[in-house]
Amino acid sequence: MDQVKIGRFISQMRKEKGLTQKQLGEELLISDKTVSKWETGKGMPEVSLMLPLCEKLGINVNELLTGERIPDEDYKKKAEENIMNIMREKEESIRKIIISAISAAIAVLASVTIILVAGTLKMETWQRILLIAIAVIVMAGGIAVACMADLSAGTYECRHCGTRFVPSAKSYVFGIHTLTKRKLTCPKCGKRSYCKRRLTH
């Protein structure tokens, strides 16, 4: 989905309705900053807000996701395109999660191998220290790559307000997690909870 195009469309429809960002935000119980974020293509409306937003703007969800008015004859085609885009986004997220897992596994295996070599073969002390330092760098680099790939795969959904968001790198790294959930603070409601991973934005 083209967030910039969708943002321009939201802005256009809002202006056609004679609403300011603040007025639209008040009607949806959100801030004008959130509306501005949508309109500049820096974010997408949460799923829970899509229907109310469409109602206020006099459009349907298909038009919102396409970022333009859709004539009746093109409606089915655009709906199918939007579904395909969502499926592609999910596939991309799954690919990133797999890359993340492989990167972490390779880094750990390589580091353990280097440390075993450093501990078992005869060599000078400085050589042993150098190998251990290399092992630590390989481990840290691999885990960093794994974290960045995983962080960019989809979003997390707040269990309290349903907001979907991408956490900061710091909160992601330090968040206690399971395979499908991570303890994070929601940027909207401010509550900290185990947020569920979603494969789409």
If pLDDT is split at 50, 70 and 90, which confidence band does 42 have? confident
pTM equals 0.54
Q: Are residues 52 and 100 in the same domain?
A: no
Q: Identify whether 183 is part of a domain.
A: yes
Distance of CA 11 to the CA centre of its chain: 23
Domain that holds residue 66: 3-70
Does residue 137 lie within any of the structural domains? yes
81 in any annotated domain: no
For residue 84, is it within any domain?
Answer: no
Same domain for 107 and 128? yes
Give pLDDT tens digits for 122-145. Answer: 889 999 999 999 999 999 999 888
Domain count for the chain, please give it: 3
pLDDT above 90 for 175: no
Split at pLDDT 50, 70, 90, the class of 201 is low
**179 pLDDT exceeds 80?**
no
Average pLDDT, the chain: 88
Contacts by residues 190-195 (CB-CB < 8 Å, ≥ 24 positions apart): 191/158, 191/160, 191/161, 193/158, 193/159, 193/160, 194/159, 195/156, 195/157, 195/158, 195/159
Q: What is the pLDDT of residue 111?
A: 93
CATH number, domain containing residue 24: 1.10.260.40
**Do 51 and 95 belong to one domain?**
no
**Residues 144 and 164 occupy one common structural domain:** no
